Amino acid sequence: MSAETVTSSPTPSPSTRRGVELGLLVFALGLVSAAYTAVGLARSGAVPADLASSAAALAVLFGTAHVVVRLVAPYADPVLLPVVALLNGLGLVLIHRLDVAAAERARALGRAVPRTDASLQLVWTGVGVALFVLVLVTVRDHRRLQRYTYTAMLAGLGLLALPALLPASISEVNGARIWIRFAGFSIQPGEFAKLALMVFFAGYLVAKRDVLALASRRVLGLDLPRGRDLGPVVVAWLASLGVLILERDLGSSLLFFGIFVVMLYIATERWSWLLIGVLLFVSGAAVAARLFPHVEARVAIWLDPFADASGNGYQLAQALIGLATGGMLGTGLGQGRPDMVPFAKTDFIVATVGEELGLAGLMALLLLYVLVVERGLRTALAVRDPFGKLLATGLAVALTLQVFVVAGGVTRLIPLTGLTMPFLSYGGSSLVANWALVALLLRISDAARRPPPLARPAPDEAATQVVGIR
């Protein structure tokens, strides 16, 4: 991985690979347009009338993102933006497909046709790209974020705690108190808290890593930290339990704590932190499962979704049956019944993919996420400063955990938790926050691949050196 830095430094003007990014973006847009057309053909037998205008809207949005990357982060990773654009575009198509199903159902029952979520999601995509641009333009060097370590902590904890402090009438939806609802909009501040907290984790751990890594006692072949150094991990654990208890949000709780523990491990290179983290979380979750009926209910559904297939287990049972109906190749876009799964647009969008695009489509989707995460980790390996390494890893792990928790929940690998599939699920906060996340990754990858100006040797010296090396 570090080979990249080696091979790029001797080249006077290393390739920015922006052309590759543009080509991949065009390809992604083509795939999304094809998917949109497939839905139209399947549901109404015609190419959607707004195909051209919809494709143009996405082209403008993603094109803008591409141009901004060209201008302010020319050495950024060329794969991240196209993959994210493809995920976002496919998400729009899937949400549109479920809109169509909802409209058909409403018409059949003689009810008013509900508003289309896809158009709203398109607006959120615009907001997301805007934030993406804003982050790239304002954060010219990711290391400057390190200065705001404790500001980020305050902002992160504040955002996280906000819904719990607000009255439930504003913050509670479907039992989870993670919202701020006003003027017809609803925002999940936790999605943004996630970003701020990762900046804090990275800054804090860079500052304290030596203490956390070196001061230790050896017990049973394991380097255990001193008692007083346990402070931060205990605080993070308590905070994540607080999220779980006060906001009833199992998914976010797992996400925050998981990110923190992995970043702690990377900063200190000590397995003992992982072990301590896992033990703390498992014990906390076990207690929570006893104490809170909604956690216990989810575990029961996970163990046997068909025990109460028309009640509590209905959603998961329908999702599993949908996945099975899809089989290897799926029913085809627009030709399944993904609308039979409640919350298909948000938490259960993976079930829609599995039913209509089949196992092949679902695996392809997961591999797209693997690509994003792998590119993030590659950036972490390549970037030189520890803060960037930690932050990039944290961002990649954040995406991984979200995908794992959501897809694992829908496919009954783990109990269900309420999280959204990054870029794919319906939901403004998650989409916008994840666009900011990718902007940060691109910013770090730009730094990682940018040829260091100081290390650039004088021309004559370079010539002799190149001959000498080769």
Partner 1 sequence: MNRPIRRVAVAILGLFGLLILNANYIQVVQADDLRNRPGNARVLLREYERQRGPIVAAGSAVARSRATGDRLKYLRTYPGGEVYAPVTGFYSLVYGATGIERAENDVLSGEDERLFVRRLGDLVTGRTPQGGAVVLTLDSRVQRAAYDALRGKRGAVVALDPSTGAILAMVSSPSFDPSVLSSHDPGEIRANYARLSAAPDDPLLNRAISRTYPPGSTFKVVTAAAALSSGDYDPQTRIPSPTQLPLPLTTRVLRNFGGGSCGGATSTLADALRISCNTAFGALGLRVGADRLREQAEAFGVNTTYRIPLAVARSVFPASVDRPQTALSAIGQYEVRLTPLQAAMIAAGVANRGSVMKPYLVAEVQGPDLAVLGRTQPQVLSRAVSPAVAEQLTAMMRLVVERGTGAAAQVPGISVAGKTGTAQHGEGAPPHAWFLGFAPVEAPQVAVAVLVEGGGSVGSEATGGRVAAPIARDVIAALLGQ
In whole angstroms, the minimum distance from the beta carbon of 336 to partner 1 comes to: 8
DSSP assigned state of 341: S
Binding region for partner 1 (CB under 8 A): 1-2, 45, 104-105, 108-109, 262, 265-267, 269, 306, 309-310, 317-318, 320-328, 336-337, 340, 354, 358-359, 362-363, 366-367, 369-370, 373-374, 377, 380-381, 386, 389-390, 393, 396-397, 400, 403-404, 407-408, 411-413
In whole angstroms, the minimum distance from the beta carbon of 442 to partner 1 comes to: 18
Task: Count Cα atoms within 13 angstroms, Cβ side, for 136.
Answer: 28
In whole angstroms, the minimum distance from the beta carbon of 401 to partner 1 comes to: 8
Residue nearer to partner 1 on the CB measure, 164 or 414: 414
In whole angstroms, the minimum distance from the beta carbon of 408 to partner 1 comes to: 6
Task: Count Cα atoms within 13 angstroms, Cβ side, for 47.
Answer: 7
In whole angstroms, the minimum distance from the beta carbon of 203 to partner 1 comes to: 15
Task: Report the alpha-carbon distance of residue 1 to residue 379 in Å, rounded.
Answer: 9
Say which residues have a Cβ less than 8 Å from residue 158's Cβ, sequence separation at least 6.
193
Q: Where are the alpha helices (DSSP H) in 357-415?
A: 358-382, 386-410
Closest alpha carbon to 430 in 70, 78, 121, 79: 121
Handedness of CA 20, 23, 25, 28 (dihedral sign): negative
Residue nearer to partner 1 on the CB measure, 121 or 315: 315
In whole angstroms, the minimum distance from the beta carbon of 396 to partner 1 comes to: 7
In whole angstroms, the minimum distance from the beta carbon of 173 to partner 1 comes to: 27
Residue nearer to partner 1 on the CB measure, 45 or 459: 45
Residue nearer to partner 1 on the CB measure, 56 or 364: 364
Residue nearer to partner 1 on the CB measure, 61 or 373: 373
Say which residues have a Cβ less than 8 Å from residue 210's Cβ, sequence separation at least 6.
none
Residue nearer to partner 1 on the CB measure, 36 or 369: 369
DSSP characters over 59-113: HHHHHHHHHHHHHH-TTS-TTHHHHHHHHHHHHHHHHHHHHHHHHHHHHHHTPPP
Residue nearer to partner 1 on the CB measure, 300 or 309: 309
DSSP assigned state of 183: T
